[in-house]
Structure 1
């Protein structure tokens, strides 16, 4: 097994996998091609009917493709294809799309193309990559996060969208897509990643001159704090950047961020607080940061020597165990698995609740440990 886990950990992961498969098989039959976000009274609502361009609308499809790859069950494939086809309508809402095109189309069209060779899916993925490339600001050398008056904002999350550009560059033999991803990553190393391994969530530039203006607070506690899921995005995104470029600076930054992340996880039994620099009270957790960070640590472990690999794999396993053993609901009749996910520090409606991307990264993490995953990024 590529992560070198011991027999006890393998048995634990197999046990979680059995529960995961039963749960997700029941959800697939019940939900079909729904686009879930947060359940209400144990039932998902279809976010695709409310906001088709919402950044989270690809994660359930990503879970279905991971499960189809692992099991061959056609239910998962059919659900994922249905979501992909529904997302065609998001292209028609072009002005509502932001930088999260990777989260949307890597998990749908690109995953479909990689697993089935569907040429229409390839076209969809390339179309999404073209839109993402069009968001690049050459003066500041960043991809703008949002639309309207916030055109000078770039955020750490975008590191996870860049694989869409690397993929398009390879598919089209066009280095322009790759160069945009590289330039944005260089910006992140200079302005988002801090020397101590922590990260800003948001940075702001003058959209005309490219001059750096500051770092607004974002989804963490405040400006200068340390939003835990932002740390996870950085670990995973920089590790993926290294996979595609072999740029040592990306790997070094990923390791700094990982060391900071792991040091803080040890203080809260491997369940991340929403923000590592928030006041001690009240205590707010974000399990999604833990399982996303675990996937990032596993990815990082594939690019380092044996001693560092052992450190990252053990930390990833601790994150996954803490989440699965303490905060998961396995009853097939209810929607969602992982509780205590938090979208942001200051919003109660999606703070310490089940969130679809928590389930996605839990699924990916367990499948990684068992060598049954495929790289969706």
Structure 2
């Protein structure tokens, strides 16, 4: 067990997230929450990219208390999610987010054959989005007046690759793993800047595979440093190193962690973009902190002392700050942590509780306790 689990606040926080999730489950049941914009979680369509985080959270808590109703609701979510797999226009590169936290988590817990079948189907659909010219996985399906989405990849994709790594481990077929590595190599080359900041969106020519341009995406502008995108890279490359052992991925994760912590300074929660100008610094993103903290604990598994200790201490400081200063423990609102921002450029859902912020907060607490989340099956 991680020696930091001896911190009294970790045990207190774990008990609180367990009790709060069980209480929330009585309300949310087998629906798909996204944000608690007015103190109450909404209900999204199962095709929405965040649909896996609620069943993933249920499985995290179930793993410890075997509360059967949590498992039943998570499995009901999974059956609804399967319907989306029958329509390829409803699925995109976020299949990893959805199925690692639903079907794969279910299979890892129980050995359920249907959960394995569904998850492998999702992995095949994710692999089918690979563009052999540009060596990238296409992100989105929708049309856009601002970009040709047939050629778009985004940094979030690094967190979806473990579905492909898992599929290779589960079936013995190396193709999934090789596609994941090819995509990660492209992201390493095209998304990671010399100053270790990360861009959100890169557009390629879908026919030739040549890079066309960078887009600001959910960051302030091209060349900015979207906080959550930085966290996705930190965490995603640590996972990629764990599955592949490629030193380049470890280096990128370490450098991105340093960038994140340097930009954050003594704060706990960053502005939504580290390079947002003063007039746009009215929104924060606690989900970036939760993702980054979980990523630092992932990264700490692969480095030597004293770097391991330094990463663990940094993550513990951030998580303690989230629990004591940014959680809903003293309010009646739904969600676990506050001050997350979904999409600042579109002015959507600013300074609210977000389901993926909640998931990664709980996942990181589990790691402080010496356990793992659902992004490392079979590792």
Instruction: Give TM-score scaled by structure 1 length.
Output: 0.95
How far has the Cα of 1:335 moved from its partner? 2.1
Q: Which residue of 1 aligns with 2:39?
A: 42
SS in 2 for 1:151: helix
Query: Which residue of the other structure, out of 19, 22, 25, is the alignment partner of 1:22?
Result: 19
The residue matched to 2:353 in structure 1 has which SS?
A: coil
Q: How does 1:159-178 map to 2 (within 5 A)?
A: 159-178=158-177
Counterpart for residue 224 of structure 2 = 225
8 Å CA contact 2:5–2:369 kept in 1: the answer is no
CA RMSD in angstroms comes to 1.5
Structure 1 position 79 matched with structure 2 position 77:
no
- The CA distance in 2 between the partners of 1:244 and 1:281, in whole Å, is 42
Query: Which residue does 2:275 correspond to in 1?
Result: 277
Q: 1:329-368, aligned counterparts within 5 Å?
A: 329-330=328-329, 334-368=333-367
Gaps of at least 5 residues in structure 2 are none
Contact 1:27 1:332 in 2 (8 A): no
- Is residue 229 of structure 2 the alignment partner of residue 235 of structure 1? no
Alpha-carbon separation, structure 2, partners of 1:22 and 1:153: 41
Match of 1:67 among 56, 61, 64: 61
Q: Does 1:112 align with 2:106?
A: yes
Question: How many angstroms does 1:214 deviate by?
Answer: 1.2
Instruction: Supply the distance in 2 between the matched residues of 1:65 and 1:15 (Cα, whole angstroms).
Output: 20
CA distance in 1, matches of 2:259, 2:134: 28
SS where residue 212 of structure 2 aligns?
Answer: strand
**Within-5 A mapping of 1:148-167:** 148=143, 149-167=148-166
CA distance in 2, matches of 1:258, 1:374: 19
Is the 1:169–1:177 Cα contact (8 Å) retained in structure 2?
Answer: yes
Residue 33 of structure 1 is matched in structure 2 by 30
Query: 1:242–1:251: 8 Å Cα contact kept in structure 2?
Result: yes
**Which residue number in structure 2 is paired with residue 326 of structure 1?**
325
Kept after mapping to 2: 8 A contact 1:13/1:369 = yes
Give the superposition deviation at 1:373: 4.1
In the other structure, the counterpart of 1:100 is 94
Matches of 2:304 and 2:155, distance apart in 1:
27
Residue 324 of structure 1: how far off its partner (Å): 1.4
Residues 41 and 84 of structure 1: is their aligned pair in 2 closer, same or farther, counting only changes over 3 Å? same
What is the alpha-carbon distance in structure 1 between the residues aligned to residue 25 and residue 254 of structure 2? 37
Q: Matched residues in 2 for 1:92 and 1:84: separation?
A: 13
> Following superposition of structure 1 onto structure 2, how do residues 137-148 of structure 1 map, counting pairs within 5 Å?
137-147=131-141, 148=143
C-alpha contact 1:200 1:225 (8 A) present in aligned 2: yes
The DSSP-based 3-state class of the residue aligned with 1:47 is coil
Compared with structure 1, are the counterparts of its residues 12 and 371 closer, same or farther at alpha carbon in structure 2 (3 Å cutoff)? same
CA deviations 1:167-193 (Å, max 9, x no partner) are 011112111111110000100110001
Deviation string, structure 1 residues 48-90 (Cα, Å, up to 9, x no partner): 3xxx211000100100010011221112211111110111221
Give the drift of 1:31.
1.6
User: Secondary structure at 2:4's aligned position in 1?
Assistant: coil
- The answer on 1:125 being equivalent to 2:123 is no
Is the 1:23–1:332 contact (alpha carbons within 8 Å) kept by the matching residues of 2?
no
User: Using the alignment, how far apart are the partners of 1:371 and 1:75 within structure 2?
Assistant: 25
Q: For the residues of structure 2 that align with 1:278 and 1:331, how far apart are their CA atoms?
A: 30
Please state how far the C-alpha of 1:5 moved relative to its aligned partner: 1.7
* Residue of structure 1 equivalent to 2:215: 216
